[in-house]
Amino acid sequence: MRLNTVRKYNFTASYRGYNTFIDPNTGAEQRTYVDPVEIKCWIVNNAVGQLSLHTKSKLQNDGGIGRLTSPNGELVYPIGTLSGAVWRVIEGMPMLDSFGNIYEYKYRCQMIVPKLGSVTESAPSLFINGSWTID
């Protein structure tokens, strides 16, 4: 018998979060994006074109996800760039077991289209202000 609550986190992705701080001179909130980290996850897409990502890692809303690869190392969404599709985390929620303990987090992500409007340009490398910049 196989349990439905057992998940295999076969996919890997690069996640880029951020730190926020208040500028003492202007009082404006500013974000500094941190270096990407690799996370293990499993994914499901939906009819609206969004990605549901399940992971044990806590992610931030407006964080960036790129280089989503399958267990054999191939890009899951190879849209013509070196890092494949780039996603922005829209919202997340904890998934609870029958005892009320958090066993993973579920995130809804939206694909980001580069400012040039083409997904076949060179690979985006830096996630700033909710979008990846192209070098």
User: Residue 100 is which amino acid?
Assistant: G
In a domain, 97, yes or no: yes
State the total domains in the chain.
1
19-43 pLDDT, tens digit each:
999 988 888 988 888 889 999 999 9
**For range 100-121, the mean pLDDT:** 77
Q: Which residues pair with 15 in a beta bridge?
A: 37, 65
The pLDDT > 90 percentage for the chain reads 41
Q: Is residue 100 part of a domain?
A: yes
**Is the C-alpha dihedral spanning 32, 38, 41, 47 positive or negative?**
positive
Instruction: Give me the CATH number covering residue 50.
Output: 2.40.10.270
Give me the domain span that covers residue 104.
Answer: 11-115
Report the predicted TM-score, pTM, of the whole model to 2 decimal places: 0.75
**Who wins on pLDDT, 75 or 119?**
75
**Residue 99, domain member (yes or no):** yes
Question: If you average pLDDT over residues 117-131, what whole number do you get?
Answer: 51
Ranges assigned E (strand) in the chain: 11-16, 18-22, 29-33, 37-45, 50-55, 64-69, 86-96, 102-112, 124-128, 131-134
Residue 43 lies in a domain: yes
Domain presence at residue 111 = yes
**Domain presence at residue 41:** yes
- Whether 127 is in a domain gets the answer no
Residues near 120 by beta carbon (within 8 Å), at least 6 away in sequence: 79, 80, 81
